[in-house]
Structures are given as C-alpha cells and as structure tokens.
Chain A
Amino acid sequence: MLGALQGGAHPLFSMRFSERTDTGMTTRRHLLGLGLATTLTLAAGCTGGAGSDDDGGAGGEITGEITVLTNRTDLAETALPAYGKEFEAKYPGTKVSFEPVTNYEGDVTTQLSSGDYGDVLLIPNTVAVDQLGQFFEPLGSTDELKAKYRFVDEKAFDGKVYGLSIGGVANGLVVNKRIWQQAGITAPPKTPEDFLSGLAKIKQTTGAVPFYTNYKDGWPLGFFNSQRAILGDPAINDKFPADPAPWQPGKIEYITDGLLFDIVHGGLIEKDPLTTNWEGSKPMIATGKVATMLLGSWAVPQMKDAAKAAGANPEDIAFWPFPYQTGGKFHARIEGDYKAAVSRSSDNKATARAWLDWFVNESGFAGDQEAIPPAVGQPLPAGLKAFQDTGVELVELPAATTNAGKEDEIIKESEIDLTGNIYRQKLVDIARGAAKGDKDSYFAELNKRWGDAHSRVMR
C-alpha cells in the first residue's frame, strides 16, 4: 500500500517511475538550487550572460532581444536587471531578459536536448567537454583567450573555448577564528595531524562542533574534491585520470578523503549527520556553535552576513587553506565556477556575444560578488588578497588535455561521484561506525571500483 500512493497502478507503473523520478529530482535539486542559488554566492552561480556570434563568422548587428538563463534566482529580479539596463544603455536597441532557473543543472540539461535554451546561459556540468560544440558557440581559441581571461580551459575542447567564467573562487576552510583561538590556535594548521589535534582541542575546550560536514545537504562534501592543488602539481588534472587507484596512501584522494574519514572517526563532527541543515549551519558558524567547514571563498560573505544578522562579530569568520603543505607552502585551488556561453541555437548571436563580453569584462559582477574577476589583470577581491597575503599560493589548475573528459567518464562508469556526496556519505557512515568496514577496506573498494571503470574507459 505504501506503494499505492507512491507508485500507482502497475500498468502505468514504469511511466510513473519516470514521473516520480522527475519530481524527486526537482525537489532535491530545488533544495540544492536554493542552497546554491540563493544562499551561496557561488561565484559560480552567477548568471552570466555570454553571447557570441559565430566564431569569426557572420558577426551581425548588436540589436534586438536576448534571453539569459541564470541560476541566481535571488538576483534575477534585482541586481541582474540592473546590469541589463546598463548594457541596454550602452547598446541602444537591445533588450536583455533574464530567466531564473531554480533547479539549474537538471532543468537546463533537459532544455539542452530540446533545443530551446536561451541565448546566453551557464554551461551545466552535465555536458561533457567533447559535447560542448553541440550546444554552444566557440568563443575563440584557447591560446588567444588565455592572455585575456582566467579559467578559459575549464570549458574548452580541441583548442576552442566555449565558456567564460563570470567569477572565480578559491577553495579552503571557512572557520570561526574566535573558537580556534579559544582552543589556542591562531594560525592555519599545516598538516592533517595538526588540524585533527586542533579540532580535538576545540571539542575539549569550547563545546563547539569542531567540524560541520553538512552531510544531509550533501553537496558541501564535494569540496573535498576541490583540494587537488595542495600537491602543488599543475599537471594533476591530466595525471589523475591516468591513475587506476587514487585512494592509495600518499595519493590525493587518500589525503583528502582520508582526512574526512579521520575527522569523523575521531568524533569531531556534529552529533547526527543525517539532520544537518545548510541554512542552519550559517548562523551556527557565525555565532561559534560550529568552528570549521570546508567550503570556498564564496561562502565567507554569506557567513559574515549571517553573523551580522545574529548579532555576532563578522570579523570572527576567516578563510584558511586546506591543512596540507607541499614544499613548505600552502596551495589553494582557484577555479572558475560556472562558465557562461552563447547558445548555438540562438537567433541573435551577435548581441548574445556582446552581452557575454560586457558582462565578463565591464559589468563588475565578479567584484560585486567578491569573486575573482575573470579578466586577467583585474585585482583580487579584498578577502582573497588577505588570504594570499598569509602565504598561500593560489593555483589555477589547467584542465586535462591528453586525458580530456576521461575523468568524467570514469566517474559515470564507476558511479563514484568524486565531485559529489554519494560515496562520501558512505565514507562518513563507515567512519562513524554506522556502516560496515574501515578506512582500509573502503579505500580498497573504491580503488577497485575506480580501477575497473578505469580499465573500461582508458582501454
């Protein structure tokens, strides 16, 4: 009966299955979308508009209407139309309208296959790099654009760039400095061991939750994948997919996922991971009920806002590098977040391209969002400047070239969602004793699954 309600009558059943799946997806993505869109100032989440006319092609006049898809539902009625007005003032005769999409990744992926997806949009991460050319206009060659913009190779294929970042972020720990100070730690820990003992001191001396996983919402667990720069190896994105066993001791996943395991195993996280809440975690870290979360620089302004709203001191919130040094130095990855692109099916590519260029170069959007400006040479936002001044090297990791797209394929094939939360939730479950296994057995299993998929993909 349970099913009755859920499933419906059987002849229709499989049909219902797909409907239900969609509903579920919407729901969850919706949450995630809200999380990302309204709360995260994901630099990534910018609505960028990007337009391009045919690369080197027919140009066309900059006039008429364009539609820009955005995941920033929180800005779609306010800040974005203001940018739109500025653009329209510069190019009379144009009109920019924004279409906010709450469940951005899922909905836009569906729209892509239908052929109707606006003139300028953010490239959903579901599109593999070798498929970019099917849906988006090339914006220029990688070599040529590299001189002008950061992050150009993240959505590029075969020497052509399909998307421009609308604002970059740095990866690292968001901490409540005051709590760490109470535990006697004032500088970012340099090794995983120091970090763990620091968390343990916080637990003993302050009563705060040392590390908040955001297990239930899930996506914050994905930031353990954003720490690849810590090894200081610029070629890692090419090397990574070539490695059939990245969870071996000393390798990157062993370091990052291993730290997560140790944190959880040491009892240094919230009491019940199943009931964490992203929105609720912001005031918690702001007021010192939580000491640490692994996120990105985009989260800092939000936590400060939460501190102001809760009457706490926004200056307590600081941004620290991941606790691992190579060659005596911290390395933090900076990346471009969502890239804006011009739709290949756009009727008005000239205007779309003009909007994209204007939005990336002149709108000031990245600065307004405290993100890293995509144009080379523009200054870093103040918060990141301070972060860099503490001796952290900001590293932009070039995307894989010889193994372009392989990592995504292995992820799909092995169903180990490196960028997501599914296998990391299992890791947390094992570490807290809620599922069978231990660190070695789980890492061995991951190595095996990854290796099997690796051999199917790379052959």
Chain B
Amino acid sequence: MTVLLSRPRPSVETARPAKRKIPAHWFYLAPALILLITFTYVPVGNMVWYSFHKWDGLSPAMDPVGWDNYVRVFTDERYWRVFLISLYYFVASFAQIAIALYFAVILSFSTRFRNLFKGILFFPYLLNGVAVGFVFLYLFQPGGTLDSVLRIVGLGDQARLWLGDPDVANISLAATSVWRFTGLSFVLFLGAIQSIPGEIYEAADLDGANRWHQFRYIIAPGIRRIISLSFILAISGSLAVFEIPFIMTGGANGTRTFVIQAYETAFQFRQIGLASAMAVVLLLLVLLITWIQRRLIPDDEVSLS
C-alpha cells in the first residue's frame, strides 16, 4: 500500500495527457496529413473544379460551363460506351481471384517447393507494367511465342491474330492483366490464410475434416474480408484499366477503355474540363459500387472461435 502510494508515476501520466495529448497526436499525424491533403485532396478538388469548366490546360481563362461536361459524358455514346470494355476485365478478375485463391490454399498447406512456387506466382506483379506490355506484345505477335508454343503442342491451327482480331483482342489483354495481377491477390489470400491459427486445423483433423471441409468451413470464412476486398478492387480496377491496353494497343481495335478515352480527351484533345468530368464520374461510380457492395455483403467481424 505504501509502496503504491509512494509511486509518483500514475499522477504524472494522467497529468501529461491532459495537457499535451491533442498537440502530440496532431504532430504525429501532420506529415501524413500534409502529404495526403497536398497530393490527394487538393488535386481531387482541382479536378472537380476543372470539370465544371472548359479549359485546354494552358490558357489563363477557364470558361465556366456548368454541368455541360457531365451531360456530354452521359449523352455522347463515345464516352460511356467504353465502359463496356471493362466487362472483359471484370469477368477476367473472377478468374484471377479463383486462380489466386486456389494456389493460396494449396501453398498454405505444406507442399514441396512451396517457397519457390510462391516466388513464381508473385513474380509477375513485381514487373513493371510497361515491361509486361512489351513482353506480351512479342508473345502475341503473329508467329510469336504463343503461336510457336501452340504449334509445338499440335494446336497450330488455333493460332490467330491475338491482338489484331477484334473478337480476341480484349480477351488477350484481359488475360495479360490476370497474369500480372494474380500474384497480388495470391499474396493477400496467403497472408490471410496464414493468420488462421494452426490449432483450428488440428482440431478439424481430429474431427475428421478433409481438405475440402477445411477450405469450406475454416479458410473461406476466415478470409471473407479479404475476398470481399478483392471484389471491390476487381470492380474498381476493371473500370480503371489503363496501362496494359495502352502499351499494347494504344486503345486501337476496340480496346479503348474509359481511362484511355479520358487520357486522350485530356492530353491529345486538350479538353481538360471534359476529361476531369470523366474522372469524377469514374470516382463516383467506384464509390457507389463499393457502397452497394458493402450493403449487400455486410462486413461482419470474422470470428473463428
């Protein structure tokens, strides 16, 4: 008792927060906040401002045009049609999630060479998107790597103009995207799976659960949030595809995505206002879809115990 009373620390601790708590946490937050505001919210604010003007990016005068830019985005077929191209990438993202989940589950059990396989699966994500574009450009050339491989395995007659044929071009590009981004989904899933405590598997083993049961009743519920995050990313990502089609086809041959269209509007036709309106629309769409998705699949606390 005396010992406790003689300890000065408690009183000091309560005294200090009372005076300094607010300045201190702002101080720690400041660098992050300054960066966030300077490089995210101010530019977004600018973009919204531009979207209500007609401006070429150079002229000192910006003509206010009200909602005209937005009206054009929604009424001119050339601007909204490009959203349909996103469907290719959206469908492909299901393949991507499935492949990533499959490998994440397999490699979370003890498998031979598992670290090697993890490396192989993650590697494409480490490559620069431009490099990926070029690699696949050579792969898809007539007489290129893909055609040669098909010939060797006796499927030579299946070869086609992978980028030149408008029916196949978007699929080729979406497949390239899958190849590139599976690694990231894989790592997310693997991380989530490995955070599930090992005893649960042991207990399941004792209860006679097989691998499928373990996946169905332990892993899948355990990584629900990551799966749902993956879907949000899939949707927003497929609405905003840019790099790969831009490098590989430049948006030609019916592969123009919304962001490529916005880029062209902004930087080739210098209609910064209209392009900003497109970007704002894209932002709102992604927010809306995310909101709907969260309403449909509420994000419950995951509990395995």
Q: Which of B244-262 contact A (CB under 8 A)?
A: 246-247, 249-254, 259-260, 262
Interface flag for B181 (CB, 8 Å): yes
Q: Assuming A14-B279, A274-B164, A275-B141, is B56 touching A6 (CB within 8 A)?
A: no
Interface flag for B241 (CB, 8 Å): yes
CA of A28 to CA of B252 in the docked complex: distance in angstroms? 14
**Minimum distance in angstroms from B26 CB to a CB of chain A:** 21
Interface flag for B58 (CB, 8 Å): yes
Residues of B within 8 A of A429 (CB): 166, 252-254
Residues of B within 8 A of A435 (CB): 166, 253-254
Q: Which of B275-293 contact A (CB under 8 A)?
A: 279-280, 282-283, 286-287, 290
Query: Judging by beta carbons under 8 Å apart, are B253 and A274 in contact?
Result: yes
Query: How many residues of A are counted as interface, with CB atoms below 8 angstroms from the partner's CB atoms?
Result: 52
Between A134, A218, A274, the greatest number of chain B beta carbons within 10 A of the residue's beta carbon is seen for A274
**Minimum distance in angstroms from A84 CB to a CB of chain B:** 29
Between B169, B181, B260, the greatest number of chain A beta carbons within 10 A of the residue's beta carbon is seen for B181
Query: Judging by beta carbons under 8 Å apart, are B264 and A2 in contact?
Result: no
> Can you name the residue of chain B whose Cβ is closest to the Cβ of A424?
B252
CA of A440 to CA of B43 in the docked complex: distance in angstroms? 44
**Which residue in A131, A413, A434 is a CB contact (below 8 Å) of B59?**
A131
Query: Judging by beta carbons under 8 Å apart, are A275 and B246 in contact?
Result: no
Stretch in B1-9, B88-96, B103-111, B201-209 with 4+ CB within 8 Å of A: B88-96
Query: Judging by beta carbons under 8 Å apart, are B166 and A2 in contact?
Result: no
Residues of B within 8 A of A426 (CB): 252
Query: Judging by beta carbons under 8 Å apart, are A412 and B270 in contact?
Result: yes
| A 105-124 binary contact with B (CB < 8 Å = 1; else 0) | 01001001100000000000
Interface flag for A417 (CB, 8 Å): yes
Interface flag for B219 (CB, 8 Å): no
Residues of B within 8 A of A218 (CB): 250, 252
CA of A422 to CA of B254 in the docked complex: distance in angstroms? 11
Question: How many contacting A-B pairs (Cβ < 8 A)?
Answer: 201
| B 100-136 binary contact with A (CB < 8 Å = 1; else 0) | 1000000000000000000000000100011000000
Interface flag for A266 (CB, 8 Å): no
Q: Which of B210-253 contact A (CB under 8 A)?
A: 230, 232-243, 246-247, 249-253
Query: Judging by beta carbons under 8 Å apart, are B161 and A271 in contact?
Result: yes
Interface flag for B184 (CB, 8 Å): yes
Residues of B within 8 A of A127 (CB): 58
Query: Judging by beta carbons under 8 Å apart, are B242 and A106 in contact?
Result: no
Interface flag for A364 (CB, 8 Å): no
Q: Which of A61-116 contact B (CB under 8 A)?
A: 106, 109, 112-113
CA of A134 to CA of B60 in the docked complex: distance in angstroms? 9
Give the dominant DSSP class at B's interface.
Answer: helix
> Can you name the residue of chain A whose Cβ is closest to the Cβ of B235?
A3
| A 386-419 binary contact with B (CB < 8 Å = 1; else 0) | 0000000000000000000000000111010100
**Which residue in A5, A14, A425 is a CB contact (below 8 Å) of B44?**
A14
> Can you name the residue of chain B whose Cβ is closest to the Cβ of A31?
B247
Between A1, A28, A425, the greatest number of chain B beta carbons within 10 A of the residue's beta carbon is seen for A1
Interface flag for A451 (CB, 8 Å): no
Interface flag for B177 (CB, 8 Å): yes
Q: Which of A258-307 contact B (CB under 8 A)?
A: 271-275
Query: Judging by beta carbons under 8 Å apart, are A10 and B232 in contact?
Result: yes
| A 2-13 binary contact with B (CB < 8 Å = 1; else 0) | 111111001111
Residues of B within 8 A of A417 (CB): 268-269
6 shortest A-B CB distances, which residue pairs?
A3-B237, A4-B233, A274-B163, A425-B252, A272-B164, A14-B283
